[in-house]
Amino acid sequence: MLRFFLARVAMAVPTLLIIIALAFFLMRLAPGGPFDSARALDPEIAKNLRHIYKLDRPLLEQFWFYLQSLAHGDFGPSLHWRDFTVNQLFATALPISVALGTKAMLLAVLAGTALGLGGAMSKSQIGPRIVDGAALFGIVLPVFVVAPLLQLGFGLTLHILPVGGWNDGAWQNQILPVITLALPQIAIVARLMQAALRDALAMPHIRTLRAFGMPGFHIYGHALRAAFPPVVSYLGLAAANVLTGSVIVETIFGIPGMGRYFVDGALGRDYTLVMGTVVVVAAAVLLFNLIVDLVLAWLDPRVRYESRPG
């Protein structure tokens, strides 16, 4: 187990390096630079600014500088939020994104499992159809439609929740964003769960257990075990999506998380900020993959001894 773990970590480092290089040079392909604005700067002043931020050096040299400061855990100064370093920005934004993302994923797993279980337990064809249909809604409704609808409904019509804002993480302010983030994930988990459970319930060994008169609780326990691996695999992928895909939720609800830095940084050519988000997200993806592998290995010991492709 430990060797498996260490090998995976060792492989992550070169992967991360290649990603950093790719992102660094790709970003510079985009037209414009951080100092372009509605009011074009005096060319002399712009030149001076590029000098101050070392953007006038050859690109390779800049890349080398970046790697060096990265090695010291320093993401550099933000070019848009000029009073902050990228590290300072992340220090407030990352915990918020992690908190929201975790709650949304937990909600997705709980609600999705419950729905999936409900659908699978239903004797008739109607139950699963309802779950599938409801899930379809969750998947096809874009977040930027759901979010305003929730704001209108709960904030402006019912007056029971704030429309937006973070308010230092007050729970009222978290409910709507968490729901919005979780909805598509609930839908997917419910479908995965229901399908996997129905397959599992049809398996010979479960049918045998049933025939022996095992109580339903035990039967579904067994079925759940069979159903978990695809869900876990999916969650690993989804976790990273929730971290980055939250940009719309953050923008509409006015939440100071990571997602907005991602998009604002890229659109505003804030090179250091963008690179910082890329590094953090890539690291998170690699981490989640690792966790998924570990969990799968724990669920199914056979996995440990076979090297995963790639």
Partner 1 sequence: MNEPAPAMPISFTAGATRNWPLRVSLFILGSIALLCLIGPLVSGHPYDQVYRDYVLVRPSLFAHPDASEIDNAIAAIARRMHVHIEATRDGETMHLTLDAEKPVDPRVLRAFARSDLFAPAHIAATEDEGRRLEIDVPLKRMVFLFGTDANGRDLFTRVLIAGRISLAVGLLASFVALTIGVAYGAVAGYAGGRIDSLMMRAIEIVYALPFIFFVIVLVMVFGRHFVLIFVAIGAVEWLDMARIVRGQTLSIKQRDFVAAAEALGATTPAILWRHVIPNAAGPIAAYLAVLVPRVILLESFVSFLGLGVQEPLTSWGVLVADGARNIQGSIHLLIFPALFLGATLGALQSLGDGWRARA
Partner 2 sequence: MSGNLRWHRLAFQLLVRVAAIFFTVLGLTIETEIGCAAEAPALMVWHRGELGDPGSLDPHKAETLIESNILDELFEGLVTLNARSEFIPGVAASWTVDPTGTVYDFQLRPDAKWSNGDTLTPDDFVFAFRRLMAPATGAPYANILYTLKNAEKINKGELPVEALGVRGLDAHRLEITLEHPAPFFISQLAHFTAKPLHQKSIETYGSDFVRPEHMVTNGPFMLKSFTPNDRIVLIKNPAYYDVAHVALDEEIFYSLEDRSAALRRFMAGEIQSYNDVPVEQIGFVRSHLAEAFKVTPSLGGYYYSFDTRRKPFDDRRVRQALSMAIDREFLAERIWGGTMDPGYSFVPPGIESYGAPATVAWKDTDLFEREDEAKKLLAEAGFGPGSQKLEVEIRFPNSENHRATAVAVADMWKALGVETRLLATDTMSHYAFLREKPPFDVAWWGWFADYPDAQNYLFLGQSDNQGLNHASFSNETFNRLMQEAQREASPERRRAILHEAEALLLDEQPDLVLLTYSSRNLVSPKLKGWEANVLDNHPGRYISVAP
Nearer to partner 1, 27 or 49 (CB): 27
18 binding partner (options partner 1, partner 2, none; Cβ < 5 to 8 Å by kind)? partner 1
Site for partner 1 in 69-98 (CB under 8 A): none
List of residues contacting partner 2 (CB under 8 A): 30-33, 35-46, 48-49, 52, 80-84, 89, 92-93, 103, 106-107, 109-110, 113, 147-148, 151-152, 155-156, 159, 162-166, 169-172, 174, 218, 221-222, 224-225, 228, 250-257, 260-261, 267-269
Question: Which residue from 45, 106, 152, 160 is in contact with partner 1, where contact means CB under 8 A?
Answer: 152
Q: How far is CA 87 from the centre of its chain?
A: 20
Spell out, one character per residue from 29 to 58, where the chain touches partner 1: x when CB under 8 A holds, - when not: xxx---------------------------
Produce one character per residue of 233-252: b if its CB has 16 or more CB atoms within 10 Å, e if not: bbbbebbbebbbbbbbbbbb
Site for partner 1 in 246-275 (CB under 8 A): 247-248, 262-263, 266-267, 274
154 part of the interface to partner 1, by CB under 8 A: no
Nearer to partner 2, 11 or 45 (CB): 45
**How many CA atoms does the CB half-sphere of 130 hold within 13 Å?**
12
Tell me the C-alpha distance between 232 and 124, whole Å. Answer: 28
22 binding partner (options partner 2, partner 1, none; Cβ < 5 to 8 Å by kind)? partner 1
Task: Name the segment binding partner 1 (CB under 8 A); options: 18-26, 44-52, 91-99, 159-167.
Answer: 18-26
Residues binding partner 1 (CB under 8 A): 11, 15-16, 18-19, 22-23, 26-27, 29-31, 125, 132, 135-137, 139-142, 144-145, 148-149, 152, 188, 191-192, 194-196, 198-199, 202, 230, 233-234, 237, 240, 244-245, 247-248, 262-263, 266-267, 274, 277-278, 281-282, 285-286, 289, 296, 300, 303, 306, 308-310
